[in-house]
Amino acid sequence: MDTDEHKIELIMSLRAQGIRDTRVLEAIEKVPRENFLPDSVRPMAYADQALPIECGQTISQPFIVAYMTEKLQLTDLTKVLEVGTGSGYQTAVLSYLCRRVYTIERYRTLAKAAEKRLAALNRRNVTAMIGDGTMGWPAKGTTFERIIVTACAPAGRIPPALFDQLAEGGRMLIPVEFSADRQVLQLIERTETGFERQSLLPVRFVPLLEGIARAE
């Protein structure tokens, strides 16, 4: 079976699991997931599972990528903050669906590799930086209509900066740890009077850590 057939099977699987937004499915179809993987796991590029990448991190399961992206409810005018660039795969998917993606990665190795991959795909609406994602985007006063976090907030503590940078009417998707063996994906919406939270489904993500990683 060739790559295109594997990709078609994946799209059909995502549909069967409830992903209905055709724009999201089309974006996933456009992005060559194999380009975002180490050689050792490339043959598994279109398996619906998380896979290991450099620096002890992972590339998320395609269903989770599709699900989180769909829940963001993106438009061509949306400005998105992504915390945790990782391989750049989620970034690439987002880039097909919104006006601009601002993405932060704490590992220099991952950030540089992701930028090269995104450039090779001619994704020009991505602004990337190496930094501490728990602090959000460093430009003072910046807010985003959408925030997506691809690492788990430990002990239920979502960084205050992410609340501050979520615009009124905005949506944030973030995995939250409730116990050592329980993480839940949460949708947080900012209203005129505060924040509303909704728990969506159990997930498994690497922890959201402060600072820039010392190791490359």
Name the residues annotated as catalytic: 60
Biggest CA–CA distance in the chain, Å, is 53
CA separation for the pair 161, 154 (Å, rounded): 15
Contacts of 200 (CB under 8 A, 6+ apart): 67, 71, 184, 185, 186, 187
Cα–Cα distances in angstroms (integers) from residue 78 to residues 91, 145, 213, in the given order? 14, 6, 29
Q: What is the CA radius of gyration of the chain?
A: 16
> Residue 4, class by beta-carbon neighbours within 10 Å (0-12 exposed, 13-18 middle, 19+ buried)?
exposed
Alpha carbons within 13 A on the beta-carbon side of 64: 26
